[in-house]
A and B are shown apart, each in its own frame.
Chain A
Amino acid sequence: EAAVTQSPRNKVAVTGGKVTLSCNQTNNHNNMYWYRQDTGHGLRLIHYSYGAGSTEKGDIPDGYKASRPSQENFSLILELATPSQTSVYFCASEGTEVFFGKGTRLTVV
């Protein structure tokens, strides 16, 4: 089964600070995604990428940037973290199906 690895798994950040969530896949998949999961909203798409150097806005991109420096790595960046960004973040890559990582639980205090 395809593997998607997220780091860190848990993160506490200070309001106004910069946060970088990392995602790595060794499946050679072109398409990668960042979602956030919130009770009552399910998973919502933040950013996605078609390959190295590509980033696209998803449904809720405000307050987030993304970076895809290589086929394997896709980062989500919160330049100025706010408490409303407290959530669980999932990275995914797309092969024959979409494979999700185990998530990063981010708390902004």
Chain B
Amino acid sequence: GDSVTQTEGLVTLTEGLPVMLNCTYQTAYSTFLFWYVQHLNEAPKLLLKSSTDNKRTEHQGFHATLHKSSSSFHLQKSSAQLSDSALYYCALSEGTQVVGQLTFGSGTRLQVYA
């Protein structure tokens, strides 16, 4: 079956430093890859999505590029802000019609300090 691996459970950074959260996946199908962000006591919200190989996707200062050759979709930001502190999930869905059947990684908590 499908799987998503996020190797870091916790990433701690000083404000202003770059952010990189890792995501690799395994699937036998064409997929959409997603990043969701969940702030404390809030709902997970879509941050980025992509299904196009080698195309950079950007939103709210974050960016990610889907690399099918390495099965990766790492999340990056050039300069961390205190408000970026949250739980980040990488997820995938098979196919193009029903994207709500998501397989999530275990999540990476990003903690940004002043």
Contacts and interface: CB of A to CB of B under 8 A. Distances in A.
A90 B43 CA distance: 8
A102 B107 contact: no
Interface stretch (B14-22, B44-52, B62-70, B77-85): B44-52
Nearest to A94: B100
Nearest to B4: A42
A40 B107 CA distance: 7
9 contacts: A42-B104, A42-B107, A44-B104, A48-B100, A90-B43, A94-B100, A97-B46, A98-B46, A98-B99
Contacts of A45: 101-103
B98 interface: yes
A5 to B, nearest CB: 11
Contacts of B91: 42-43
Contacts of B104: 42-44
B106 A42 contact: yes
A55 B9 CA distance: 33
Given A31-B100, A90-B44, 18 more contacts: A32-B100, A40-B106, A41-B106, A42-B4, A42-B107, A43-B91, A43-B102, A44-B104, A48-B101, A90-B43, A92-B100, A93-B100, A97-B46, A98-B46, A98-B100, A98-B102, A100-B45, A102-B42
